[in-house]
Every structure is written in C-alpha cells, then in structure tokens.
Chain A
Amino acid sequence: MSSSISYWIKDAALFLFLPLIQGFIRAPELELLSTALYPMAIERILKDDANEEKGERARMASFVGAIAITDLVKTTLGPKGMDKILQSTGRGQEVTVTNDGATILKSLHIDNPAAKVLIDISKVQDDEVGDGTTSVVVLAGELLREAEKLVAAKIHPMTIISGYRMAAECACNALLQRVVDNKDNAVKFKMDLMKIAMTTLSSKILSQDKVYFAQLAVDAVMRLKGSTNLEAIQIIKKPGGSLSDSFLDEGFILDKKIGLGQPKRIENAKILVANTAMDTDKVKIYGARVRVDSMSKVAEIEEAEKEKMREKVQKIIAHGINCFVNRQLIYNFPEELFADAGILAIEHADFDGIERLALVTGGEIASTFDNPESVKLGHCKLIEEIMIGEDKLIHFSGVEIGQACTIVLRGASHHVLDEAERSLHDALCVLSQTVNDTRVVLGAGWPEMVMTKAVDELARQTPGKKSHAIEAFSRALIAIPTIIADNAGLDSADLVAQLRAEHHKKECNAGIDVITGSVGDMAELAISESFKVKQAVLLSATEAAEMILRVDEIITCAPRKREDRM
C-alpha cells in the first residue's frame, strides 16, 4: 500500500506544480485535479510511463499543439510567403529548402496527437489534389483557435461542431454559386488553366519565370488528355544553367548511356521494350545445378550457355528492330552481339523508365521472344544522344502516342532543383485535377471573402448558441487573406476591411493584389484557383477541427522501449 501512496503523492506534487509552470490553468481546473486524486486506493490502472490527460487539460493540449503547427507553416502562405530550411537528423544532415506545406510537415517529428491530425490532413491534401497543403492546415488551425475562445466562453464543443458544420456547408454552397465553368470553350478553358498554374506557381520558387513554367505545365497536362496519371510526365533535374533554361520535351528522354560501338543516332527507330535477364540467363527450375567432372565439360557447358544467349539475342534481332531497351542489365557478351547487328541496346532502364517508354512509343513490354509477329514494337522518328550540361542523355523524338513528355529542369543547385520540382509537381497536380473538374474560382482571398459573406448571413439567421460558432467560422476564413497580406508586409487590417466593403457590392471580383498592395479585381489580374482544391481545403479542415474538438481525453501509452542497437 505504501508504495502506491507515495506514487500518488509524487504525482500530486507534479499536478500542483504544473499550473505554476504553465501559468494558464484557472481555478475550476484545480477542482478537477483534486477529483483526479480521489481514487487513493487504486494501484495503477495504466502501465508505467503511460499518461492520461482529461477534460480541459486534454483540450488545451490539442489546441496548443494544433495552433503551434499552424503558426509554423503560416508564414509560407501566399505569394510573398517565406521558405523554411529543414535539416534532417539522419546521416549527412541533408538540407531541404521549401515552402511547400506538405513537405515541411512531413519532415517534422511531432509528439502532439492533435498536431499529427493536422499533418495527416496536409498529406492527404497533397495526395488528393496536390496543392493547398498549407491552406488546409492554416484553416484548420484558425478554426481551432476560434473554437478555443468559444470553449473558454463556456460553449460546449458539440455546439461548436454543429455550428461549424452548418457554416462549412453554407460556405461550400456559396462558392458553388460563383464558380466559372468553361468546359465547353476550349480556348477559355486553356486560359483558365494558365491562370491557375500561374497562381499556384506565384507562391513558389518559380515565381520569377511563372509565365514560362505555367505554359510548360499546361502543355504537359494537356498532353495527358484527361488522365490524372502524372507518371507519364517525367521530370529530369540537371544542375547547371538557370531555371529559365528548363524546357518541355515532346519526346522522351532517358537518363542512360548508349552502349559502346553502337549507333549514336537512329532514324525511324523500331524499339523493343523488354524486361528480361540479359546477364546470365539462369535456369529457373528449382534445384538445378551443374556438376561436371572435367575442365573440358565446363567449357562445353559454358559454350552451351553462350549459345543460349546468342540464340536469345538472335530471336530479339529477328523482331526487326534497331533499338532494344531492357529493364535489367545487359552483359558485355550480348551487348557486343547487338553492336554487331547495329542495334542500339540500352540497359538498366528502371521500372518507371520502361513503362513510360512503352507508353510513349506504343510498344509492349516483352519478356519472351518466340513470337516476333505478335509482339508490338514501339516506333519513333529519331533516337539520338543529346547533351544537357555535362551529361549525355538519350532522346527519343517523333514518338507515336504523344501522351508522355519530359520536363528538363535546370537550376543553380540541387536545392533549387528539388524545390522547383515540388513546385512544378503542385502545379501539375492542380492542373490535372482541374482538367477533370473544370470548375474554377478566383483567387487571392476572393473565395474566402465570398464564403465569409454567406456564412455571416447564416449566422444572423441562426438562433441559439450555434450562431457564435458560425461567426467564429467566418472569422477563421478571413484569417487566410489576413495572413496573405501580413506575409506580404501589408497592412492587413486595412486591406481586409476594404476587401470586405468591396464584397458587399453585388458580383464583386475583389481580392488582395499583393504586388501593388491594394485591393484589385482578380478577374483582371488573372488570378484563379481550382474549385476542387478550395472545396477540399474547406472540407478537410472542418473535418479535422471537428475531430480535435470532440476529444476530451488523451491517453498516451508508454513509449515502446527500444533496445540500443548501437
């Protein structure tokens, strides 16, 4: 008995000190703490080191965690947002410079469960629509910040949740009424895509050359013809040159070298894309092994092996090809045979490489070669070796099916390239999603203001405590243009107030023009965003906030003890 009592005393001391340390626990919680001390007789319910937080304290822990995460990524929002340096703890202490919300959050090691929820929504946003990864976290954080105030004003979390739900639905509908859909007008739609791409890129490292890259991204996505498979767009990064030296290649570039003594340039190429062993063609029958009793027999077997390989090569050549691309290694011997036959043999193209190549050239990936007539070969007009910077690459141009393409990025350093790739990826994702869901809204704080207006209207019509929550929702929405303005070093209070006034007029297109630091017409400034992204941001942020608000207890298990392997 005595031991358990001492445990409680120890814990009690801890509990009593905590308020002093944290300084923000008010009187009612002290009562709560004393009830926590009540079961003197129990030994322990939970295991050692496990820990349990209840009621207000649990809620506070999740609010604090979520808001901390929000404040962390907040400064990256908008065209004048700043970047972060992330240094990995692993070997090499690798450094990443980024302003992509999902990348920043993914790299953080967080212990706070509420913060983990936010990181998760940002990741999902990245997978699902590709952009808006920062906005979703900021919105969820702002919703929780507002909720914290309401909870402090003695409004039950459940009431807040139902208010938020109503507000989110209303906001979504309001936005839906103002979307522009240029599905039927190809020229206009392409303009929309351009605008979206430029808006996305303007907050990234590529903002200097955003027109160029936006064009690049739109061209690449238009080639996909509605598929969302971004695999078909290959991005090759080569350090050197400047970002504006990057280009989109209509053909396909394979980052490989051509075998020795083989032609460096082939016109009207017939390509066989293969996935087969060209090193030692092993006997696959289980348990087979060679046992011989003399050297001469070894030579014979070796000869037979070579013969087998030669036959295989002959079969491949019999397809009437002049280019052979294999996923696996090609040993010297078959390579030599190919060279003799004047065939270009490319070895060790990885999985993605051959899949893309097969896609571009229209060939099929072959592994057996007995029926040359039934294997579809790939075709292209010209294969040649090209130089980018100092590296030699193989370039396939004049391909049959134009779905795939390659973007070659050039830049001063690896960090720039990595960030450029992430930015471009965001743009590509958004564009490919927009091609499927062609609804477009204006950007730069416009959608938030439209939603705010509708939500405010709803708050005025709703009786009961819920209206406080609905008002809070609209305040959280306004926080986004406020942060964009703040990050650009503008007077946010003044700008947002102006914006609000503008939006009270009918059919207004006003948003924040960060460049001139004033309120501008977004339709004229050509700033647009995809409706799908905005909708996803709104819904997942509300969902996450709801989830965190519902919690009234956090139980943390004892961390698993790791054996020291060092």
Chain B
Amino acid sequence: MALAFDEYGRPFIILKEQDQKTRLRGIEAQKANIAAGKAVARILRTSLGPKGMDKILQSPDGDVTITNDGATILEQMDVDNQIAKLLVELSRSQDYEIGDGTTGVVVMAGALLEQAERLLECGIHPIRIAEGYEMASKIAVEHLVHISQKFDFGAANIEPLVQTCMTTLSSKIVNRCKRHLAEISVKAVIAVADLERKDVNLDMIKVEGKVGGKLEDTELIYGITVDKDMSHPQMPKQIEDAKIAILTCPFEPPKPKTKHKVEIDTVEKFQTLRLQEQKYFDDMVQKCKDVGATLVICQWGFDDEANHLLMNRNLPAVRWVGGVELELIAIATGGRIVPRFQELTPEKLGRAGMVREKSFGTTKDKMLYIEHCANSRAVTIFIRGGNKMMIEETKRSIHDALCVARNLIRNNAIVYGGGSAEISCSIAVEAAADKYPGVEQYAIRAFADALDSVPMALAENSGLQPIETLSAVKSQQIKDNNPHYGIDCNDVGTNDMRQQDVFETLIGKQQQILLATQVVKMILKIDDVISPSEY
C-alpha cells in the first residue's frame, strides 16, 4: 500500500517504518472507529437518569473519585484511543457550553454511531449518512423549538427555576436533599445575575467545601469565605462594619526588580539603614491606619515586625490570600486592589458588614467569613458532607445546577425531560423522513431510531422494560398529540412530565443534538487510520 515503485522498479518509501505501523482503511476503519465510540458510550449509558449508577475512578496516583457526571468520568478515564478522545472532547464541550447533559450527549452520539454502522453494512456511503444526519438534526432542533415553552420567573418567583435545578440534581447522589441544594443554587444565581442583560457571571459564585457535618448543613453565604485566618493569633476574631484595605504588596521592605547592592562600609551607614528599615514598617502600617482601614487583606506575607505593629495598632490582617480570592473580595466589598502603599486612599477601601473567623470540628481549621458586603453580587456556596468524595461530587452537582439556572436566565425556554423531548423529536424526524427523496431518507430514519435510545436507556436504568415502555409512551404521544409524555423513572404513576415537573433547558437539549451530530459526522468521514503499532 504505502510501498511504491519508481519507473526503474525500485521501491521507495512513502510511510516511514511502515511495517511498524498498523493501518486500517475504508470500511474497516469506519467500523473500528464506530466500535470505539460505542464502547465509550456504553460506559456512560448506565449513568443516565435519576436511577443511573455511579462510577469509581481511580487516578494514577491512587486517588478515588466517585461520580456520575459524564464529563468527569470521561476526563479521568485516561483514554488512549483517538476516537474515544473525540467523545471525551464532545462531553467536555457540552460541559463548557451548557454545563449539564454531558452524559446524554455521549449516549446520543453512541446511538448515532450504532445506527450508522447498520447503514454502512447496507452499503450506503458514509458521506450520505452524514448528510442525512445533518438534515435530521436540523429537523429535530426546529421541532424542539416548536414544543418548547416559555417560562416566567423573576427574582421573587424562583419556584420554576428551583424545579428545573431539581431535575438536574435528581440524578446525582445528592438527591437526598435536592430541594435544599436547588434552592441554594438558584438563589446564588439570582444574586449574581444581571436580569436585564440576561447574563450571569458564574465566576462570581464560589463553591467551597469542607468535610464534616452533613449535607443538610450546606449553606449559601452572601459574601466570601477565605480559607485563611488572622495573621496574628491575638487579633480580634470578629469585625463589624469592616473597612478593608486590599493589598498586593508585602509588608516587607521593598525589593526593587533591578539588581542592586547597598554597600555598608561605615558604622553611620549601618545605623541609618537600621533606622530606615524601622521607618519602613512604621510607615506602611501607619498608611493603612491613616486611610481608616479596619482590616488588611494582603496577597503576600508579613514580616514578624510588621505583624506585631499591625497587632499593636489594632489593625487585624490576613496574609497569603490567593489572587482569585483577592479579586472576589474586591468585587464583593466594592474595594480596589491596591498595589502600593502610597496609593492607598479612603475611597479604595472595601466595605463589609461583618468579618468573622469560624472554626470547625476538633481540628484547628479556621475560615474567614466576609459577609454583608457593600456589593452583594459575589456569593459563596459552602458545602459540608460526610467525606471528601461526597464533597467533590456535590461540587460537581452544584456546578451543573448553577449552569442550568444560568441557561434559563439567558433563555427561558424549556422542554420537558424524562425522554419526552427525544421521543417527540423522534416522531417528528420519522415523519419528515418520508418526504426526502434520496438515500438520505434512510439516514434520517436511523437518526430517529437513535433519538429513541436516550429514553430507552432511561427506562433500562430505572428497571423498566425498555422496548415495551418506549413503545407505549410513543403511541401515547401520537394518540394524544401531547409531547409531554416521558419515561416514569421514579415510579410516580404518571407519564406526563408536566405533572412530574421534570424540565430541561431548550438550549441544553438543542446543543446535545447538534454536538452529537457534529462529532458523529466527523467520525464517519474518517476512512484511514494510521497508528504506530503496539510498542
């Protein structure tokens, strides 16, 4: 294959060391790729839905993660296969873009690949399949808009948002107190949201966790927590109406960037230098005091002397605060980050109603709470839980819930969950398929079948008969012309997702279908895989 002959019959090499490489071509390559994609999708399939199971992932260093978040599973799986990596990317981009539905998108892609395999066996050209999928996805996305509903809420009426977040959280381990967590997430998003511009900056929500206590103790703090304590053990632990100086310069003698030397050759110089040094510390502390600060938060460390001077002048201080936290504090308290002592002015100070130190459990863990800030736009969600893995998983779940709430604020259209949207799309695509004259018709039909696989997986995970349940729901949808029928995963007794209050965001669903189609198209177009063989 890769060996060619020139006009004299001498062989020359196109591929270097080609006998050490494995090469797959044509239909063979496509089938191998499809199999790889399906294998990844199969791993995630059991995590889908409220009765989905978790996975234990053990990292190369032996750390254990327990999760059922699709993006996290794939990220930590240490995948080697190139095609599998594409699916990992797919899940990640869904995570970045939407934040939720990371499992669903991979399951969808897996189903599309499975259908494609069958069409390939019929002898349909992969490009035709890809085109058919493209058309079908357009139909599906349009249909989604058609069945979606607008959904009114405001800062006062957050109930609908809470319901949607609860749908997201119900598939996670935290579903024990999903109501509580959903309310926290929604309140957090509302607190930082710009409802007029319909934008939410999720960076303003800090999610912190500390082991201990129980999940129910998780709280929303209108302010910031910093995992630090006062620099001097005897500084006051609680400051009311704090005026905060936020500094990025250390309480140390200046260190000019240019290389320099201070030569000491006489006793006088030695003494002046000493006085100078003392004055430095004195000035620094005095400047903070002069502008009226009652709390100093500094990115760097303090010299012992400066520390004591601060203590002596009754100026509590916190040192070694990370850059990100510093920024958040600045935003929350309305202060400015000051890089030099000379630039400190009273206007640049941040304000907070209450700063307090709180200790936990029997160890001397302490955290600093900065609350009732001037600008309450930055909030912190503080998670408690029985063990480390629980906290991590809760963090991921809260992230998903936050994303969902944000998406709803951006675009308040929703579709109903529980597989109802997929079933409805499947019906619409199936109906549309017959109108297309070309070979694409088959691909479009295959797409409809692939859409069915999500509700099927849901039913399977919930211990229902997948095919029976799906066909029953499908016929019900067509009969009643009602797209709200889905899979009754929690055994509530009704199929109507509207009554069960199971929602998902419209953009989330659209994105799932679009992204999955795109990746599948990409995989189908590959017809040659050259890789170094086993080493």
Contact = CB atoms under 8 A, between A and B. Distances in A.
B385 to A, nearest CB: 7
B38 A39 contact: yes
Nearest to B84: A45
A277 B256 CA distance: 24
A560 B60 CA distance: 5
A231 interface: yes
Contacts of B307: 275, 367
A453 to B, nearest CB: 24
Nearest to A540: B386
Contacts of B55: 551-555
A293 B263 CA distance: 12
A293 B266 CA distance: 10
B173 interface: yes
Given A43-B32, A129-B362, A124 B58 contact: no
Give the interface SS of chain B, mostly helix, strand, loop or mixed: mixed
A45 B263 contact: no
Given A3-B22, A127-B361, A368-B312, A45 B36 contact: yes
B54 A551 contact: yes
A230 B385 CA distance: 23
Interface string A37-69: 001111111111010100000100010000000
A460 to B, nearest CB: 21
Interface in B266-281: 266-267, 270-271, 273-274, 276-278, 280-281
B336 interface: no
A7 B80 CA distance: 15
A291 interface: yes
Interface stretch (A300-308, A331-339, A391-399, A472-480): A300-308
A530 to B, nearest CB: 12
Contacts of A113: 56, 58, 64, 66
Interface string A366-397: 11101100110000000000000000000000
Interface residues of A, number: 92
B362 A432 contact: yes
A258 interface: no
Contacts of A301: 264, 267, 270
A304 B270 contact: yes
A45 B80 contact: yes
A122 B364 CA distance: 18
Interface in B50-72: 51, 53-62, 64, 66, 68
Given A117-B66, A285-B262, A288-B273, A550 B53 contact: yes
Interface string B290-317: 0000000000000111011101100000
Interface string A100-113: 00000000000101
A136 B11 CA distance: 72
A364 interface: yes
Contact of A358 (B36, B234, B271, B280): B234
B249 interface: no
Contacts of B482: none
Interface in A319-366: 355, 358-359, 364-366
B181 to A, nearest CB: 15
Interface string B367-392: 00000000000000000011111100
B312 A46 contact: no
A412 B265 CA distance: 60
A544 B57 CA distance: 16
B387 A124 contact: yes
Contacts of A62: 56
B256 A543 contact: no
Contacts of A129: 361-362
24 contacts: A4-B22, A42-B32, A43-B81, A43-B531, A45-B36, A120-B389, A275-B307, A288-B261, A297-B265, A301-B270, A308-B274, A364-B234, A365-B234, A366-B308, A433-B362, A543-B390, A547-B387, A547-B389, A551-B53, A552-B46, A555-B77, A557-B58, A557-B76, A558-B60
Interface of B: 22, 24, 31-32, 35-36, 38-40, 43, 46, 51, 53-62, 64, 66, 68, 73, 76-81, 84, 173, 176, 211-215, 232-234, 252-256, 259-267, 270-271, 273-274, 276-278, 280-281, 303-305, 307-309, 311-312, 359-365, 385-390, 463, 531, 533-534
